Amino acid sequence: MASTTFYDEQATNRRMSWLLMLSVAVLLGALGFAIGYSTTGDPWGGLWITAGTVAFAVLLSLGSYYGGDSLVLAASQAQQVDATSQPQLMNVVQEMALAANVPMPKVYIIPDTAPNAFATGRDPHHASIAITEGLLEKLDREQLQGVIGHEMGHVRNLDTRYMLLVGVLVGGIALLADMFLRYTFWFGGGRRRSDDREGGGGLQVIMMVVAVVLAILAPIAARLVQLSVSRQREYLADATSVEFTRNPVGLEQALAKIATDTEVLEVANRSTQHLYIVNPIKKFESRAAGLMSTHPPIVDRIDRLRLLRGGQPLTDDERRALGGLD
């Protein structure tokens, strides 16, 4: 198995993330143009409709950008700690903050025995890291370093801001598609241009069909791309953790422990699951029904970490043991 470096992994995942985001932007532009042309008969109509939709989606997202971290921490029942109450944890966080060259984030403990962790905040100067009590109890210091390095990777890589941008694009597509389908249902589509005799009317009908098809399929495709972007950022944070710790083994062991733990993280839900280092909603839970994965498979993440140290991939027995819960 050929080895690679965490710099190679970081470059690959950054490139994939931006390509995926570009695909969402192209999808939004195509949908906006098709809807604008089919409803107004004017190519410029697509530009104005797309711009207006994005502007509206940005306004709706500003509240999440500036206050979303407080809401997530409150919903998780997280309690802030300091060096007096959690000296080892604060020491590890400080080490990783120095390695990442970012300010020391606020640190919170979630009163739950299921091991997990997440980072939130709009930038490194407003970042917070939350760790469950179960994570502190079940991981040793080396494994804890790997987890904190992963979360600090999210902070340094501005993943919250990046995912918000993707969310704005995906939300814009969903909003635009929903408005158009409702408009088409109630009013039968756009009015024909008065110059149908010049051939514009036929093209407008074609664009109406294209717009309806895109309005149905684009939100699904955009959501799938959003999930793919989320998974790429997890791979990137794993590689960044190795950059900070110079030790893939700690994170590798931590991921295996978290993934195979059968305790349920009660405070996690569908809207916050993407934040955690490992999907907190296990496959055996009833609330997992119908969910699309926000995280890469644990076996793939561990194999990538083993690749960084020139190790062998997981055996079939190891893959089966790790693949049943996450």
Distance CA 120, CA 99 (A): 19
Q: What is Dmax (Cα atoms) for the chain?
A: 80
The helix/strand/coil state of 229 is helix
* Residue 252: closest CA among 324, 153, 149, 156: 149
Residue 96, Cβ density class (10 Å: 0-12 exposed, 13-18 middle, ≥19 buried): buried
Q: Find tokens 């598609």 and name the residue.
A: 177
Q: State CA 289 to chain mean position distance.
A: 19
Q: What is the DSSP letter of 288?
A: G
As a residue count, the chain comes to: 326
Please compute, for residue 16, the number of CA atoms within 13 A of its CA located in the half-sphere on the CB side: 18
Told to judge if 151 belongs to the known catalytic residues of this protein, a careful annotator would answer: yes
Q: Which listed residue (9, 95, 133, 151) is catalytic?
A: 151
CA–CA–CA angle 250, 254, 257 (5° rounding): 145
Catalytic (active-site) positions: 151
